[in-house]
A = this chain, B = another copy of it.
Amino acid sequence: MNDRFFASDNSAPVHPEVMEALRAANEGHAISYGDDRWTREATKSLRRLLGRKASVHFVYNGTGANVLGMQAGIAGYHAIVCTDVSHINTDECGAPERATGAKLLPVPTQDGRMQPDQILGHLHAIGVAHHSQPRVVSLTQSTELGTVYETDLVKEIAKVCHKNDLLLHLDGARISNAAVALGKDLDEITSRLGVDILSFGGTKNGLMFGEAVVFFRPELETAFSYIRKQGMQLASKMRYIAAQFQALYGTDLWRGLAAHANEMASTLAAELVQLPDVEIVYPVQANAVFARLPRSVIAEAQGEVFFYVWDEDASVVRLMCSYDTTASDVERLVAAIRRSLKVQ
């Protein structure tokens, strides 16, 4: 099996410039827990990208960012409206429920995107003590299915949220891929659309570890230092998270990396769609390709270039591209699938 694969965008190594930034930060002593110049600098850079209202707090990982970010706005009797395929619903082993006590209210989706009217159905519960009280709507941008919310859709959802005293959370594990896909700046797809809480992802775009919780409402920030510490996500040597973010988001590097990953996905999809018996099942808008392959083909192709099956029953696989996916990686995967398909 080849040692480069399409399993996940967190299979990729750390980008060389990030690694260099870590090396550069490795000088002298620094006060721990974030009272250091690297953290101040990276915070400033992120606020430059996300807007002056943004308050930025580094944490270890995406689950931490999602859970603790939402926790800042909710109590145990609240509910979180999310899609049924959302990471918080399916891939965090119940961390949101356990950490917050809140209930998840998953709504079905065709392509990973929630529709505004799906929120409305849950508003009947408001004010009735027997029901968990909807308080957060959580979207993922780009979605777990490789699609991207148009800005108008996010804006409309934000409107529904704020009209009903709900907070809008954005799981931005792949926010950079979304920004690039939409041709927008990061603030244009978050704060300016009414997002209240953002999980700002870095690990899937070339970092070693580290994500940021970003609040766009000052009241959410008030107690976050305690929530983060009690939530076991306060890094002692925080400079090493901050320095990574600075390497990517203190420059335009993030944009190039995400653009490349998206482009590779697009190339891959364009190749696959020409193959017989292969179907692309969701619009390829970011760095993921979901394809239906004949069952027999999957295992054989996996043996050559590793990737994950997404839906066993539907025979759909997920092919993730990352900032370091090369054209020849794509070629190799397509060739493997062609071979399994017995296509000349």
- A230: chain B residues at CB < 8 Å are 76-77, 92-95, 98, 101, 132
Segment touching B, from A59-67, A138-146, A253-261, A331-339: A59-67
**Contact assessment for B4 and A129 in the assembled complex, using a CB-CB cutoff below 8 Å:** no
Q: How far is the CA of A234 from the CA of B203 in the complex (A)?
A: 13
Q: How far is the CA of A16 from the CA of B25 in the complex (A)?
A: 12
Chain B CB within 10 Å, residue with most, of A63, A76, A92, A97: A76
Q: Mark A223-261, 1 if CB is under 8 A from B, else 0.
A: 101111111111111001000000000000000000000
**Contact assessment for B94 and A60 in the assembled complex, using a CB-CB cutoff below 8 Å:** no
**Contact assessment for A101 and B91 in the assembled complex, using a CB-CB cutoff below 8 Å:** no
Q: Given A228-B129, A231-B232, are A79 and B64 also a contact pair (CB < 8 Å)?
A: no
- A14: chain B residues at CB < 8 Å are 22, 26, 237, 240
Residue A102 is within 8 A (CB to CB) of chain B in the complex: yes
Segment touching B, from A5-13, A178-186, A278-286: A5-13
**Contact assessment for A61 and B26 in the assembled complex, using a CB-CB cutoff below 8 Å:** no
Residue A152 is within 8 A (CB to CB) of chain B in the complex: no
Residue A342 is within 8 A (CB to CB) of chain B in the complex: no
**Contact assessment for A231 and B12 in the assembled complex, using a CB-CB cutoff below 8 Å:** no
Q: How far is the CA of A306 from the CA of B203 in the complex (A)?
A: 33
Interface residues of A in 199-235 (CB under 8 A from B): 203, 208-209, 223, 225-235
Q: Which residue of B lies closest to A101 (CB)?
A: B98
Segment touching B, from A29-37, A163-171, A264-272: A29-37
Interface residues of A in 287-307 (CB under 8 A from B): 306
**Contact assessment for B229 and A129 in the assembled complex, using a CB-CB cutoff below 8 Å:** yes
- A117: chain B residues at CB < 8 Å are none
Chain B CB within 10 Å, residue with most, of A25, A67, A77: A77
Q: Mark A75-97, 1 if CB is under 8 A from B, else 0.
A: 11111000000000011111101
Q: Given A130-B92, A209-B240, are A77 and B226 also a contact pair (CB < 8 Å)?
A: yes
Residue positions of A touching B, CB distance < 8 A: 3-5, 7-8, 10-14, 16, 19, 22-23, 25-33, 60-64, 67-68, 75-79, 90-95, 97-99, 101-104, 124, 129-133, 203, 208-209, 223, 225-237, 240, 306, 312
A229 to nearest B CB, angstroms? 4
Q: Given A32-B8, A209-B240, are A132 and B94 also a contact pair (CB < 8 Å)?
A: yes
**Contact assessment for A95 and B231 in the assembled complex, using a CB-CB cutoff below 8 Å:** yes
**Contact assessment for B236 and A203 in the assembled complex, using a CB-CB cutoff below 8 Å:** yes
Q: Given A27-B13, A94-B103, are A209 and B227 also a contact pair (CB < 8 Å)?
A: no
**Contact assessment for B93 and A229 in the assembled complex, using a CB-CB cutoff below 8 Å:** yes
Q: How far is the CA of A336 from the CA of B10 in the complex (A)?
A: 48
**Contact assessment for B133 and A226 in the assembled complex, using a CB-CB cutoff below 8 Å:** yes
Partner of A77, one of B4, B60, B67, B93: B93
